[in-house]
Amino acid sequence: MRRKRKPARYVIRSRSEDPKQALYISLARSLPFLQYITKYIV
């Protein structure tokens, strides 16, 4: 059995959708995490 680094859904989405759209999705996912960091810094 081999391990999959990324879930199948993510791979299919990134292939089917435009690269820009995939980038926006990744930004939207990382945004709350960034806000969490900025709160600690400030």
Task: Look at residue 3 and tell me if it is in a domain.
Answer: no
Q: What are the pLDDT digits (tens) for 1-42?
A: 566 665 555 555 555 567 788 778 888 888 888 888 888 877
Predicted TM-score (pTM) above 0.85: no
What domain count does the chain have? 1
Task: Look at residue 16 and tell me if it is in a domain.
Answer: yes
Residues 6+ apart with CB under 8 A from 22: 13, 14
Task: Look at residue 2 and tell me if it is in a domain.
Answer: no
Coil, strand or helix at 42:
coil
Q: How far, in Å, CA of 3 to CA of 9, rounded?
A: 15
Would you say 14 and 5 are in contact if contact means Cβ atoms under 8 Å apart? Answer: no
Which domain, by its residues, includes 19? 8-41
Task: Look at residue 32 and tell me if it is in a domain.
Answer: yes
Rg of the Cα trace of the chain?
Answer: 14
What pLDDT was estimated at residue 17?
Answer: 60
Task: Look at residue 33 and tell me if it is in a domain.
Answer: yes
